[in-house]
Structure 1
Amino acid sequence: MRLHSHDDFTPLREIIVGSAAHYGGHDRDLTFELFHHENLSGFRSDWAYPRLAQAGAGTRRQKWAVKDRYVEELHEDVEALASTLADLGVTVHRPLPLPPDADRIAGLGWEAAPTPALNIRDNTLILGAEIIETPPAIRSRYLETRLLAAVFTGYFETGATWTTMPRPTLSDTSFDLSYARDAATTLGGPTEAIRDPQPSPYDVGYEMMLDGAQVLRLGRDLVVNIAQSNHQQGVHWLERHLAGRYRVHRVWRMADNHIDSMILALRPGVFLARHDGIRDLMPEPLRSWRYIVPPEPDPGAFPGYDDEDLVLTSPYIDLNVLSVDEHTVLVNKECTGLIKTLEAECFTVVPVRHRHRRLFGGGFHCFTLDTCRDGGCEDYVS
């Protein structure tokens, strides 16, 4: 059990697959609404943050349940993903399951119901033989990496470095709201939910927040998406911490947060991209790579949901694929257009079922954290 992972495409040996056990719902507060604001903007507006307060919701938090059937089907699909990877010869590690009666967690001036360690790509960045726990932006996910502590300890005991970026306080005023307040991005949606952040005795100003899924790993080079000041502070820390070891390339507002449903490297010289315009947002040395752009998502590939079902991702979530090596890619079996596109590019596609990716905010890349691949800290850019 050794930690060695520098990219997303060389032969995969070990991986952590997240857990969907006891995913009961979402704590909707400022942090949740802000993080998901682009996809919530089309949702009906009676959840808006000030209206929760006006309705007597106390600390302006609302529990939003997810139907049991969806949770059960999600669990089935995640377990099938883990089995598929094991069948392909990959060693699969798992986080601790969230207890069904897990206590609420609390910070300075807030509390939240914890979520299971499902989208484990978000709160951890693996760079070579180093585990970096990244600073979360959603209160309910503040202790999520504790469910991975047993796996991380195993890697630490065999020589890995284990680092934690500074943890934010996550008071209302910790957040740079400029991106979400831009009418061009929010379409007038959840701006109500973040218009009135409340002061707290624990305020320290804008804090660093940066998810591992904002980082595209290419050996020595890291492409990091920045949409606002919280991200920028996180990248400042990352650059100082990695000085002399990695080159950090900043891209500006490629997405609100994560970029792994915008662009993924399938092999050196080849990207899977949401649209060809992504090329112009990338660092200059990477614009000459081949950009594979699949057809637009088929609306019929997604389940139909009721008004009260909270959709957290765009229809492009199926671009969130997982490579087993430079020739083999796990793809949602429902995304036939993407499958045909990759097969035409001579990739071997392993179709895996994932029904409710839009309800739970992640695809196969989100649900996994590759901890051992054959590739080294190569220079794919110079």
Structure 2
Amino acid sequence: MHLNSYDEWSPLREVIVGSARNYISHERELSFDLFFHDNIVNDNAFRTEWYYPRLSQRDATAPRATPIKQQYVDELAEDLDGIAAALAGLSVTVLRPMDLPDSTGTVRTPAWAASTVPALNVRDNTLIVGDEIIETPPMIRSRYFETQLLKPIFQEYFRHGARWSVMPRPLMTDASFDLSYVRDTSAGGPTEVIHDPRPSPYDVGHEMMFDAAQCLRLGRDIIANVSTANHALACDWLERHLEGRFRIHRVHRLSDSHIDSMVLALRPGTLLVRSPAVLDKLPEALRRWDIIVPPVPRSNNFPRYDDDDLVLTSKFIDLNVLSVDPDTVLVNEACPELIRELEDHKFTVVPVRHRHRRLFGGGFHCFTLDTVREGGLEDYLS
């Protein structure tokens, strides 16, 4: 089919669902710690100092790999297959990326090396705007070439007329990262505020680094979360690249990066938000929309993990739902409070299993990339 996706809710016809094959470990290094800063600091405060060593005490040339238990990976793969089956049962065509080969261990550039990960959270590194694929500049080094695993799918859409762009790839030396967010917002605890990045002959200063999951697509308008100079540079590029076709609205520090567990548009005029305070940072036109604020998730909604399991997302990760159409939403079956709240607002909820969302940094919206929806270039904000 022809690539066509302008918003978050129009009837879904084609979607990519991520892969977990050969997800072996999380690699603790500068880009990883910066990306997951809020959750590592706030949600793992009970961890002991030896497990999250201070950056000044660790060997910066030897990133620390945190193994992931094979049971969790196997169960994640089962749940991804369940998500794909649920969507297929709703008459949605499901595409899957290439699996990460067993032999792919490390990605290397002239400036650094990092372990690779599979194309699981496929929303993050690709922004679909209408009939265009935009590969965004990654914020975690291990994900630098992740979109290569989506190339066969992108190639097919390109053959059918899609535009295909790649934002400039950052060198990603330590000096590339704007550290102001972690300096200004650190809650203390086991992760030390980062002061002195290691110098590199490849330093060029702050660079574009930005994930598509920082965007909320509303037809002609795109809401983009900006928390660092890296994000701001990427928004400059997006504004110039999309000028005359789309309008970019910047919101500032709504979160550290992604906003799809803070706010999602379920249909025109209705937002799902973490709390009413989210509205204060949104464009004025969106503040007039109806809002759904679900109850705070209960701790027994989540599996219990061992002390050596790294928790990467907050307890609000299940707000990361996927709209199949303006009335139908995929929701984690482990969230009865959220299900009831959406049903009270007249949505048809499709419960689907997703157990280890806090270990792998994503929910249904993260794990999917909607490539074909029926909607068009509508104006929902004017």
Fold equivalence (TM over 0.5): yes
Question: For the Cα contact (< 8 Å) 2:111–2:171, is it kept in 1?
Answer: no
Question: For the Cα contact (< 8 Å) 1:129–1:160, is it kept in 2?
Answer: yes
**Match runs of 1:101-116 below 5 Å:** 101-116=103-118
Question: For the Cα contact (< 8 Å) 1:179–1:227, is it kept in 2?
Answer: yes
Q: Structure 1 CA distance, aligned partners of 2:67 and 2:272? A: 34
Q: Structure 2 CA distance, aligned partners of 1:63 and 1:194? A: 19
Letter aligned with residue 135 of structure 1:
P
Question: For the Cα contact (< 8 Å) 2:321–2:329, is it kept in 1?
Answer: yes
1:280 is displaced (CA, Å) by 1.1
SS in 1 for 2:275: coil
**Match runs of 1:272-351 below 5 Å:** 272-351=272-351
Q: Structure 2 CA distance, aligned partners of 1:59 and 1:292? A: 46
Q: Structure 2 CA distance, aligned partners of 1:366 and 1:103? A: 23
Question: 1:174 matched to which residue of 2?
Answer: 176
Work out the percentage of aligned pairs sharing the same amino acid: 59
Please list the CA deviations of residues 256-281 of structure 1 after superposition, one character each: whole Å capped at 9, or x if unmatched.
00000000000000000000111111
Q: Structure 2 CA distance, aligned partners of 1:374 and 1:157? A: 20
Question: 1:50 matched to which residue of 2?
Answer: 56
Letter aligned with residue 243 of structure 1:
E
Please list the CA deviations of residues 177-223 of structure 1 after superposition, one character each: whole Å capped at 9, or x if unmatched.
000111xx220146526333100000000001110000000000000
Give the counterpart of 2:86 among 63, 67, 84.
84
Question: 2:73 matched to which residue of 1?
Answer: 71
Letter aligned with residue 58 of structure 2:
L
More displaced 10-residue stretch of structure 1: 235-244 or 102-111: 102-111
1:108 is displaced (CA, Å) by 2.1
Question: For the Cα contact (< 8 Å) 1:16–1:92, is it kept in 2?
Answer: yes
1:68 is displaced (CA, Å) by 0.8
Q: Structure 2 CA distance, aligned partners of 1:163 and 1:367? A: 21
1:325 is displaced (CA, Å) by 0.1
SS in 2 for 1:277: helix
Q: Structure 2 CA distance, aligned partners of 1:322 and 1:303? A: 22
Question: For the Cα contact (< 8 Å) 1:181–1:191, is it kept in 2?
Answer: no
Question: 1:204 matched to which residue of 2?
Answer: 204
1:243 is displaced (CA, Å) by 0.6
Could you list the runs of 5+ residues in structure 2 that have no partner in the other structure? none
Question: For the Cα contact (< 8 Å) 1:121–1:369, is it kept in 2?
Answer: yes
User: Are 1:362 and 2:362 counterparts?
Assistant: yes
- The two structures have a TM-score, normalised by structure 1, of 0.97
Structure 1 residues 168 and 178: alpha-carbon distance in aligned structure 2, compared to 1, 3 A threshold:
same
More displaced 10-residue stretch of structure 1: 93-102 or 264-273: 93-102
Question: For the Cα contact (< 8 Å) 2:19–2:120, is it kept in 1?
Answer: yes
- The two structures have a TM-score, normalised by structure 2, of 0.97
Please list the CA deviations of residues 7-64 of structure 1 after superposition, one character each: whole Å capped at 9, or x if unmatched.
01010000000001111011110000010010011433333322222xxxx6140111
Q: Structure 2 CA distance, aligned partners of 1:273 and 1:29? A: 31
Question: 1:164 matched to which residue of 2?
Answer: 166
Letter aligned with residue 133 of structure 1:
E
Q: Structure 1 CA distance, aligned partners of 2:225 and 2:281? A: 10
Q: Structure 1 CA distance, aligned partners of 2:365 and 2:381? A: 23
Question: For the Cα contact (< 8 Å) 1:227–1:256, is it kept in 2?
Answer: yes
Question: For the Cα contact (< 8 Å) 2:271–2:292, is it kept in 1?
Answer: yes
CA RMSD of aligned residues (A): 1.0
Q: Structure 2 CA distance, aligned partners of 1:138 and 1:84? A: 30
SS in 1 for 2:72: helix
Could you list the runs of 5+ residues in structure 1 that have no partner in the other structure? none
Structure 1 residues 190 and 134: alpha-carbon distance in aligned structure 2, compared to 1, 3 A threshold:
farther
SS in 2 for 1:41: helix
User: Are 1:131 and 2:137 counterparts?
Assistant: no
1:103 is displaced (CA, Å) by 3.2
Question: For the Cα contact (< 8 Å) 1:207–1:230, is it kept in 2?
Answer: yes
